[in-house]
Amino acid sequence: MSFEDILIILGDFGRYQKYQVLLISLAISASAWYDMGNTFLSGSSDHYCRVHKNQTYRINSPLKNYTIPYKIDKGVIEWSQCVRYNRILPECHERGTDVVRCDKGWVYDTRAYESTVVHDFDLVCDNDWMKQLSKSLSQVGALFGSYILGQLADRFGRKPIFVSSVSFAVIVTVITSFAPVFSIFAIGQFLCGFLVIGIYNIGFVL
């Protein structure tokens, strides 16, 4: 008996098949949010050195002018994002002379991104590599997930592995969104990539 003969016995593309395709497509569509989420979670915005605890971002202000070095290139002011003046003398209207690294953190422009992991964990300047690492870990997770979950699906069945991947992906993403430190966020990105590729590949086969 050929595959075409089996299709004739089973019948045309009916209500049951449409229902299954709808459910699987919903899960696969959600996996795209997981896969592309890091692009927005790691969104960067303009920033400069923080001087005091309650400081907020300002495009231009006397405090910024006295504490942040800048240069003018073709009529455009370019403020330094990684260093500040070591002296603060606003009462004398004098700028500092020597500069130091941002030892008190940064203030960020929140007009485009109200909050990202870059803001939460200060993934700028010397720590910019950590932002890139989280993106790479997501793809490394997908590399391992495509092999391991594919093998498990062949051994134990596609439906249980598919449902398990969807369930664990929901749990992992919720935990990752509340990560208190970068290491937990990075692990979460790896697991998201691991599970999402399983959702997509197994769902596509189903």
Q: What is the pLDDT of residues 55-82, one digit of tens each?
A: 888 887 888 777 888 787 777 778 888 8
**Residue 147 counted as domain residue:** yes
Is 119 a member of any domain?
no
Establish if 120 belongs to a structural domain: no
Q: How confident is the model at residue 102 (pLDDT cuts 50, 70, 90)?
A: confident
Residues whose CB falls within 8 Å of the CB of residue 134, separated by 6 or more in sequence, listed in order:
38, 42, 117, 182, 185, 186, 189
Task: With H, G, I as helix, E, B as strand and everything else as coil, classify residue 179.
Answer: coil
The answer to whether residue 121 is domain-embedded is no
- Looking at the structure, do residues 168 and 184 belong to the same domain, yes or no? yes
Residues 34, 94, single domain; the answer is no
Helix axes 128-156, 158-177, angle to 10 degrees: 160
151 and 181, same domain (yes or no): yes
For residue 91, the SS3 value is helix
Does 116 fall in a domain? Answer: no
Tell me the average pLDDT of the chain. 83
Cβ of 108: how many Cβ atoms within 10 Å?
A: 24
- Determine the structural domain holding residue 79 and report its residue range: 47-109
Token pair of 60 as six digits? 């231009």
pLDDT of residue 12 exceeding 80: no
- pLDDT, residue 200, reads 86
Of 157, 173, 172, 171, nearest in space to 206 by CA: 157
Best CA proximity match to 206, nearest among 168, 163, 159, 166: 159
Q: Into how many domains does the chain fold?
A: 2
pLDDT for the residue 96: 53
Please say if the pLDDT value at position 92 is more than 90: no
d(CA 125, CA 19): 50
Instruction: For residues 133 and 198, state if they share a domain.
Output: yes
Q: What is the pLDDT of residues 19-62, one digit of tens each?
A: 888 988 888 888 778 777 777 888 888 888 888 888 888 887 88
Q: What is the pLDDT of residues 171-205, one digit of tens each?
A: 998 898 888 999 999 999 999 999 988 888 888 88
Q: What is the pLDDT of residue 190?
A: 93
Q: How confident is the model at residue 85 (pLDDT cuts 50, 70, 90)?
A: confident
Percent residues over pLDDT 90 in the chain: 10
Residue 180's identity, in one-letter code, is P
| 75 compared with 145, residue with greater pLDDT | 145
